[in-house]
Chain A
Amino acid sequence: MLSKRLIVCLDVRDGKLAKSIKFVDTKDIGDPVQKARQYYEDGADELVFYDITASQKNRDIILDFVRAVASQIFIPFSVGGGIRSVEDATKLRLAGADKVNINTAAVKRKELISEIAGAIGSQSTILSMDVKRAKKTGEIPSGYEIVINDGITPTGIDALQWAKLGEKLGAGELVVNSIDADGTKEGYELALTRMIANNAGIPVIASGGAGKPEHLYEAFSAGHADAALVASIVHYGNYTCRELKAYLQNRGIKVRNSF
């Protein structure tokens, strides 16, 4: 039986860990490669790095970073942030990233999904969706809307329709990131996660809101997610991946516990 995946998310700026992440062991700040290795050894099933580098001229730094990570961890990892073209995706793939996450650029030009999937394969193409609750209308029948620019800009695109379209265009996985739940530590947006998971033929990764081990349990049980993304719950040293997985296993969720 397939295990539910625990995916650790790290924000990287100019090849360093973003300062918004305050690790308990302060020595680690600034060395995302070492941190990645630590999570790998702690039993994370997968890692995702969001490149939040602002300046375009520093974009190649992420490639060096990806090469360094790829030589240190032997589990799949993906990279997201600022991917606008097949060339961006291919460069990251060649540098050693197993998958890429596309988000805003796909909303702006949906053909990008099929172009990237065509170049590096659906299994390496993750469509990441930022979603916000909205009033149910003819345009937004599911009551969930796709937003961009860190959740500030509504797009008028229905989240469920976007998920289905993304799958049809060749995405191999979907990240469902709830802007409403993100940062609250009150749990994943379960109704949204379940709605997308039940309607998608590809794996769905729940994102945003994890504050306690119980939230992960909910994402997998009530939320029907295939994987759950975590950040602060592990970054702040509240829990190790090992502890989260032991908890999930105790509650009957199938996880990988030998590493």
Chain B
Amino acid sequence: MITIIDYGAGNIGSVQRACAEVGVRTVVVDTPADIQKAERIIFPGVGAAPPAMDTLKQKGSGAALKQSFAAGVPILGICIGAQVILDSSEEGKTPCLGLIPGKTVRFKLQDKSLKIPHMGWNAVKTVQPHPLLEGVGKEDEFYFVHSYYPQPDNRGNIYAVTDYGGEFCSALGYKNLFAVQFHPEKSGRPGLQMLERFVKWDGRVPSNSTDNRSR
């Protein structure tokens, strides 16, 4: 059973349907009490950081998510859910959850022929092994739609990068938290396979993975 946190940030239905496709039951919750019961969490999102953070604060679900993280519950963040786990976002200068040090920044592209948002299919290059990236091939592409991206302070938190006028972080993680800027629920076979791996993940990362979180 996967608990999907609803904080008014869109595409809950798409995530539910993709989970159903890989044979996993889901429950959508929005209260701290329900989040605390979760044994596995997807923290999805589409839209903007400021209203997402407002809702998380208002409902107390941000604090509940932090508790689940501390308790070792496997968590998968998607899109906005990969951005608000950092300390802050440039989007509306928003303070965020601070689960991983760093901030979410807007694309600053030198090549003026490249458009913002970065919208469409792009490859994801693993820079550090992670159970959720196992089997992602060089040719596999994922669906992106975003103008901002996560920028962790520590390289040890970056697991994959994607090239769009330069490389940006497209997958990040720390301990039992893993998050992706793309949408696995809309990325066909490679995306569904990532969800399947998440269902089996025990929340551990390989021991050679750098653990340089200071606090």
B118 near A98: Cβ-Cβ < 8 Å: no
A3 near B120: Cβ-Cβ < 8 Å: yes
B119 near A258: Cβ-Cβ < 8 Å: no
Main SS at interface, chain A: loop
> Within the complex, what minimum Cβ distance (angstroms) separates B60 from chain A?
25
| 5 additional contacts (CB under 8 A) given A202-B115, A258-B140 | A1-B123, A3-B141, A74-B17, A200-B115, A201-B116
The proximity string for B residues 27-49 relative to A, scoring 1 for CB distances below 8 Å and 0 otherwise, is: 00000000000000000001100
Residue total for B at the interface (Cβ-Cβ under 8 A): 36
Residue of B nearest to A77 (CB): B186
B10 near A2: Cβ-Cβ < 8 Å: no
Contact residues of B between 102 and 143, Cβ < 8 Å to A: 114-123, 137, 139-141, 143
Q: Enumerate chain B residues within 8 angstroms of A40, measured Cβ to Cβ.
A: 188
Residue total for A at the interface (Cβ-Cβ under 8 A): 29
> Within the complex, what minimum Cβ distance (angstroms) separates A100 from chain B?
14
The proximity string for B residues 157-193 relative to A, scoring 1 for CB distances below 8 Å and 0 otherwise, is: 0000001100000000000000000000111111110
> Within the complex, what minimum Cβ distance (angstroms) separates A130 from chain B?
23
A202 to B18, CA, bound (A): 28
Q: Enumerate chain B residues within 8 angstroms of A257, measured Cβ to Cβ.
A: 139
A121 to B145, CA, bound (A): 11
Q: Does B54 contact A (CB under 8 A)?
A: no
The proximity string for A residues 217-259 relative to B, scoring 1 for CB distances below 8 Å and 0 otherwise, is: 0000000001100000000000000000000000000001111
Q: Does A143 contact B (CB under 8 A)?
A: no
A203 to B192, CA, bound (A): 26
